[in-house]
Every structure is written in C-alpha cells, then in structure tokens.
Structure 1
Amino acid sequence: MTLGLRRLSACAAVCAALLLTTACARAPEVELAPLADEPACSSLSWPRAVSGLESVGTTPQHPSVSAWGDPPVIARCGLPSPAPTTNSCVVVDGVDWVVRQLTDGTAAITFGREPAIEVLVPQEHGAVPLLLPAFGGAARSLPETGRHCS
C-alpha cells in the first residue's frame, strides 16, 4: 500500500469513528412549555455553561429551551407561574424559586415570574440551588407578578 493510500485509509477510519460517535450522541428531548412562544421566552439569554457543564443541543431546538452536560441539566421557559405552595421556596441572587424533589433529581421553577422558567437537575449534578445562580440573568428578565417567597 502506498503512503497516500495509507493516509487516506487512516483518515477514513478516523472520520468513520467520529461519525459513529456523533450519531450515537442524542440531543435531549424537551417538551415545550405551554407559553414557550411568549416574547419573554423567545428572547432569553441562556448561560453558555452551568457549573462547568457545556451547552448541548435539544430536540426540538427552540429559544425557550436549553440543556447542559450529560446527563443534561434542562431549562425551559414558558410555564405558568406556580401558585403559593408548601414546597420549599428559596431566594437565589434576587430570584425566588420553588424547589421540589424528583425521583431522579430536583426541579426548580421561578416563583413570581410569568412566564416561569423551570430547571431540571439530575441527582448526579448535586443540589439545584447551587446551579441556580447561572439562571439569574434569564430569570430576572421575565416579568414579575408581585409574589415572593415568604
């Protein structure tokens, strides 16, 4: 085999491996929230990284949703603001969040903002309040309803 053919063969093997790796990596499927097309959600500025986790694509691709890492931390805008609840309510960087445990992680939803942002954090990434500062800018850009954690 000539040197040119060996290089071409090696290049083809590397390209095939990259294609297989890319084909196997699937973007997380995210259900759009009911108010996802609200202007406040369409113009959000999501963080580039969350606690060191890089942004990954989502299915569908929509400005109201974003994800980071694997397993992904998922954020989506466009939920109705939650009603007062007995769930834990925390204030992080001036934003109120209602936090609830899930079977495989934690969910946090902005309280007193309409539409609301929901952040879903798999248990592998730790406590959700530690990741919420990354979402402060996006959350503060949403209209306030006047409700706050008490």
Structure 2
Amino acid sequence: MNFFRPRPVALPPLALLLAAVGCSSADGDVSAAVPSPSATVTELCRNLDRTLPSAVDDQHRRDPSPASELTAGWGNPAIILRCGVERPAEMSDTEADGVDVNGVGWLLEEQDDGSFRFTTTLRAAYVEVTIPQDRTADGLAPLVDLAPAVKKAIPEGIA
C-alpha cells in the first residue's frame, strides 16, 4: 500500500486532462471512454450514478456518449466523471500531490499541457474527474459538489 503526501493546494484556475474526453462532433457532443471494472466495482459505480447531483459547478447534468452508468457529465464544455478507472501509476509516487475535499481524498495530476486530473484515493473504487480548461474558474468547486455522492456510494478502502 503506497500513500502520497497531501499538500495544501492553492491552485490557479484548473484545467484538466481531456485525454478521456473528446468532442465527437461539431454539435458539442462529448464522448468518454467507459471503464471496464470488476463486477463489485461496477455495482459501486452504479450506486454512485444514482447519487450523483443533477448539477455540478452550476452546470446541469449532460452525460457523455456512449451512455453508461460508469460515466457522467455536466455542462458544455463538460466536466466528466468516470467511475471504475484503473489505479493511476502516480499513486505509487511518494511525491505525488493530493487534496482532501470535504472528506474525499484526490490524487492531483498536472499534465504536460498545464491541465489537471483528479482521481479518488483510499476508496473501494477509483473515480476520476476531468474539468476542461474553460470550466476551471471556480477551482475545486466541482469536487466539492461531487464529494457527498462519492462518500455515500464508494466506501473507504483500497481498490
């Protein structure tokens, strides 16, 4: 079991990796790669899907395609959540940065393009949240909005 050290974070406006999120057409449709977790994790993710808020960072829910209980989205450009992702390799790095948002720990990954990706830590399933650069003015507000659902649906533990 590896832990990273949480650090206080004063982030500039965040921009998160869009590798898993891409525009699929000119009309603004968003796609997200659907994870393939175990049956146990899939059930946790289904529970999370049922408890997710209808709005995140004042943006209404607008799920990506293909439709799945393992992915969710809000707004345009979309904030994307994927549940049941693989454990990021960066979680083994003792120098990795983390943040705690309302009782949910998140691995913070800065990408080469200056964007960020957040993945839950110490939960029975890994939940990843990406926020497009155009939606970063409110910093960690999306994680604040998502924390109650994650705490309710994904128990503490090691995935």
Unaligned stretches of 5+ in structure 1? 1-22
Task: State the 1:42 CA deviation.
Answer: 1.3
* CA distance in structure 1 between the aligned counterparts of 2:59 and 2:67, rounded to whole angstroms: 19
Task: State the 1:138 CA deviation.
Answer: 2.4
Task: State the 1:113 CA deviation.
Answer: 1.0
Q: Equivalent residue of 1:43, what SS?
A: helix
Higher helix share: 1
* CA distance in structure 2 between the aligned counterparts of 1:56 and 1:146, rounded to whole angstroms: 30
Unaligned stretches of 5+ in structure 2? 1-24
Per the alignment, residue 109 of structure 1 pairs with 119
Per the alignment, residue 82 of structure 2 pairs with 76
Asked if 1:135 is matched to 2:146, the reply is yes
Ranges of 4+ aligned residues in structure 1 off by more than 4 Å: none
* CA distance in structure 2 between the aligned counterparts of 1:30 and 1:131, rounded to whole angstroms: 18
- State which drifts further: 122-131 or 133-142: 122-131
Please say if residues 63 and 71 of structure 2, whose CA atoms lie closer than 8 Å, have aligned partners that are also in contact.
no
* CA distance in structure 2 between the aligned counterparts of 1:73 and 1:89, rounded to whole angstroms: 19
Q: 1:124 to 1:24 in 2, by over 3 A?
A: closer
* CA distance in structure 1 between the aligned counterparts of 2:87 and 2:149, rounded to whole angstroms: 15
Task: State the 1:57 CA deviation.
Answer: 2.8
Work out the number of aligned pairs and report it. 125
Q: 2:62 aligns with which of 33, 47, 56?
A: 56
Q: 1:33 aligns with which of 31, 35, 47?
A: 35
Q: What is the root-mean-square deviation in Å for CA atoms of aligned residues? A: 2.4
Q: 1:120 aligns with which of 109, 127, 130?
A: 130
Q: Equivalent residue of 1:107, what SS?
A: strand
Q: 1:130 to 1:26 in 2, by over 3 A?
A: closer
Choose 1 or 2 for highest CA Rg. 1
Q: 1:93 to 1:101 in 2, by over 3 A?
A: same
Paired AA for residue 144 in structure 1? E
Q: In percent, how many aligned pairs have the same letter? A: 23
Per the alignment, residue 98 of structure 1 pairs with 107
